[in-house]
Chain A
C-alpha cells in the first residue's frame, strides 16, 4: 500500500505541531541491501 501525505498540518490550540508535511512512501518500500547501496549514493553535489 502506498502512503501519500500532502501538506499535512496539525495544531494543538495555537501550537502547530505538524506543519505542511508532504512525502510519499512506496508499496513495501524496501530493497535488497546491494541496490540499496547504489540507490543511496549521494547525487546532489557529485
Chain B
C-alpha cells in the first residue's frame, strides 16, 4: 500500500483527484501503465474511489448504493445481484443490504463506501482518509481489514491520511507531503529512523530537535561531532554534512535514558519539568540547562520510581540513534 501523508490542507485530496481525473493538471502528467490519462474522464480510468466523507446516497439502500455504478453500465440485474452480494461478503456486511445509510454505524458506512468502489473491479483503488470519522478502536480493526483486503485483491492502492500512526502501520511506502510538495518517499521504517528534513522528523512520531554546527566528520567511525547549546554531541555520520555546516539533531524519546550508568554516549544535564504517565510508558519532560525541553521515555513504568519535578538528572542517548539533518532541509 502506498500512502500520501501530510497535514490538513497540504494538497492530498487535490492530488488524489488529479489521479482520479476529477481535476485536470495544469502541468505534468499522470500515466496508468504506459498510457497517459490526463484527458481521460474518471469513469473511463478503471478506478474505485472512497471519498473523505463517504458520499453515500441517503435515500438508497446499501444494496442500491453499491449497485449504482453497475446499473449505469447496463449490466443484467442477476449479475448485479451476484456481484453486490459477493462484495458485501468481502467487506463483512452480508446481511445489511436492505438498510439505509442512516441506519448504519460510521464503520459500516465506511465499508459500504469501500464495497461501492470494489464492486466495479477497479485496477486502482483511491482511498481518501477513509477512517477519519471512526473512533480509535474501530479504526484499528477496519484498517487491518483494508490492509488484508488490499493484499488479497492485489489492487494498486493510494491511501491518503493525515494520521502518521495509521500511515506507519498500513503502508509499504509513504510519501510525506507538505504545502503541495513531496518531502520524502520511503518505507515506514526509513522515514521514522532516517528523516531527511526537519519537517519529516517532526511530523512522524516525536523527536527532540537540537540545533547545532558540525565540528568534525569521521567517516571511518561513522560519526559526526556536533556543537550545540547542550554541549558537544555525537551523531550518525552523513556524507552530506561537513565541518562548519549547520544542522539539526533528532533524538527519539524512546532512545533516551535517564540517569543511565553506561558511558560512551551522549549525555546532557537537566531537571525534571513534567511527567506524563501513559500506561505502557512514562514520558518525562526534562528541562536542559539552556532551557530546551527534552522528552525521554521510561519503557517499564511498573518498575520505576517516579522522579519528583525539579530533580536533577542526566539524559543519555547513543550516537547510533542521533540523526543529523542539514540545517536548510
Contacts and interface: CB of A to CB of B under 8 A. Distances in A.
Contacts of B11: 10, 17-18
B246 to A, nearest CB: 18
A3 B28 CA distance: 14
A44 B194 contact: yes
A5 B237 CA distance: 33
Interface residues of A, number: 35
B78 to A, nearest CB: 29
Interface in A8-29: 8-11, 16-23, 25-29
Nearest to B189: A40
Given A26-B156, A40-B190, A42-B193, A5 B32 contact: no
A10 B14 contact: yes
Place the interface of chain B in its size category: 35 or more
A16 B175 CA distance: 19
Contacts of B323: 45
Contacts of B28: 5-9, 20-22
A8 B20 CA distance: 13
Nearest to B173: A29
A31 B154 CA distance: 10
B172 interface: yes
A28 B194 CA distance: 26
Contact of B156 (A2, A18, A37): A2
Nearest to A5: B30
A46 to B, nearest CB: 8
Interface string B229-253: 0000000111000000000000000
B52 to A, nearest CB: 16
Contacts of A41: 189-190
A28 to B, nearest CB: 4
Interface in B240-292: none
A9 B25 contact: yes
B23 interface: yes
Given A8-B25, A29-B1, A36-B172, A45 B194 contact: yes
Interface of B: 1-2, 11, 14-15, 18-19, 23, 25-33, 46, 123-124, 150-151, 154-158, 172-173, 175, 179-182, 185, 187-190, 193-194, 196, 236-238, 323
15 contacts: A2-B31, A2-B156, A3-B19, A3-B158, A6-B30, A8-B18, A8-B28, A9-B27, A20-B27, A25-B2, A25-B156, A25-B173, A28-B155, A29-B173, A44-B238
